[in-house]
Amino acid sequence: MSAGRGLRFWKAEETAEHVVYLYGPSEKQVGRLSINKRDGAIRGEGVNGMSEESSWHYFGRFAKVFAERLFASGQYPDETVAV
């Protein structure tokens, strides 16, 4: 697994308060990440089919950093790739 390389994000839901993304290496293996648009709080669930530790090591920490960048920019694309 290439940690963080080509980590994909798909917007699952967006409201005035938050945006929810599915993220992972493919559409079949995804985690879920919620960004609070008001305060930048990020909550997530690990990539399915992986232990919480492996999910965090390979994908979660990169997803969190990328989510922080999205919050800082204030732009939430429908689909994107973090490289």
Report pLDDT digits (tens) over 1-53: 444 457 899 999 999 999 999 999 888 899 999 999 999 999 999 999 999 89
Helix H or strand E segment including 25: strand 18-26
pLDDT digits (tens, 9 = 90+) for 48-83: 999 989 998 889 999 999 999 999 999 999 999 876
> What is the distance between the alpha carbons of residues 3 and 46, in angstroms, rounded to a whole number?
14
Q: How do the domains of the chain map onto residue ranges?
A: 7-75
